[in-house]
Structure 1
């Protein structure tokens, strides 16, 4: 069995593609190299396929598959040229025998996925999906769907939760919009938290919660949240996703790939070059 087939089968067990937002997302095998690299037995995990991540992959002859959380092929293309950044990256992968797989929103919505991991940084408590998956799209998993609601076992001050998020995401700074009722820790405690990795306004906006935890929201979405006594914690888009690769996915994918170990061992590594483009200096 090819390395790409093994990765695709393993990822389907971890994050069934039926859980993705198929109405707009682009997930699964995005590129199957016509001539795969010989003897490639390494999978590179990244949030974004950038020029630096691509260089990292191509410099390592063992890398045969890139699992890029964000799909480098998203909207339809009518042509392929080296002058277009995304097309350039994909063409270089094809020319060098490296395939691409993207799980994106299926990995957000699955059991023990990105949103469950974010909730675990704050818990303990009860975790449920904001929008449960339809029964025919769960892929056999339970308690899955879009976003997460974390009902804390014990209410906490907002400052305590901010500290837990910083520690879990290994960040020195995050953006916070405090609703008037959370202006000080002596005021209302946080009990109910709505969570969505990445850009979460469309998922979180309709939800009644004490706190929204996501990567980014627009200025006006933040104002609307604060006006209804919901504070917001914004850690930047990919900072809410990247830590999951090393903390969870690397180990899970390695274990799932052992199912097909008769085809040889596979090494799963996390990109050293992948990072959020926005820094607070």
Structure 2
């Protein structure tokens, strides 16, 4: 989902983006003071998104659980493995759960008829 500022203009034209801020999970508190033009996070409450769009920022949300899962696998797991290796625990195994799942499903209401 994307929340656009009222002044974003024509999306079909190229716009220069120089700074993007990213936060897995719920990023409102982490991103609240950023001057980035685009904010990417798992989720953001309605009023926070309104505030950012009024400041001229674009907010992109990609679902809370999904953004954290990607962070855990691609960022946190390698960081933990490196720290454990540096601490002398090179045989330690770091596993990101594959059983965890997003509690929400997307349902097309047109299929309910």
TM over 0.5: yes
CA contact 1:182–1:189 (8 Å) conserved in 2: no
Distance change (3 Å), C-alpha of 1:197 and 1:183? farther
Distance change (3 Å), C-alpha of 1:254 and 1:210? closer
Q: Which residue of 2 aligns with 1:260?
A: 89
C-alpha distance after superposition, 1:228-264 (max 9, x if no partner) = 2111001122322211322233344345444235xxx
Q: Which has the higher contact order (CA 8 A, sep 6+)?
A: 2
> Comparing both structures, which one devotes a greater share of its residues to strand?
1
The root-mean-square deviation of aligned C-alpha atoms, in Å, is: 2.4
Q: Give ranges in structure 1 of 5+ residues lacking alignment.
A: 1-174
Q: Does 1:214 align with 2:41?
A: yes
- For the residues of structure 2 that align with 1:208 and 1:236, how far apart are their CA atoms? 22
How big is the shift at 1:226? Answer: 1.3
Q: Does 1:245 align with 2:72?
A: yes
1:279 aligned to which of 96, 101, 105: 105
- For the residues of structure 1 that align with 2:89 and 2:101, how far apart are their CA atoms? 31
C-alpha distance after superposition, 1:122-172 (max 9, x if no partner) = xxxxxxxxxxxxxxxxxxxxxxxxxxxxxxxxxxxxxxxxxxxxxxxxxxx
- 3-state SS of the aligned residue for 1:260? coil
Number of aligned pairs? 104
**Larger-gyration structure (1/2):** 1
Q: When the two structures are superposed, what TM-score results if normalisation uses the length of structure 2?
A: 0.71
Q: When the two structures are superposed, what TM-score results if normalisation uses the length of structure 1?
A: 0.33
- For the residues of structure 2 that align with 1:183 and 1:280, how far apart are their CA atoms? 29
Q: Give ranges in structure 2 of 5+ residues lacking alignment.
A: 108-113
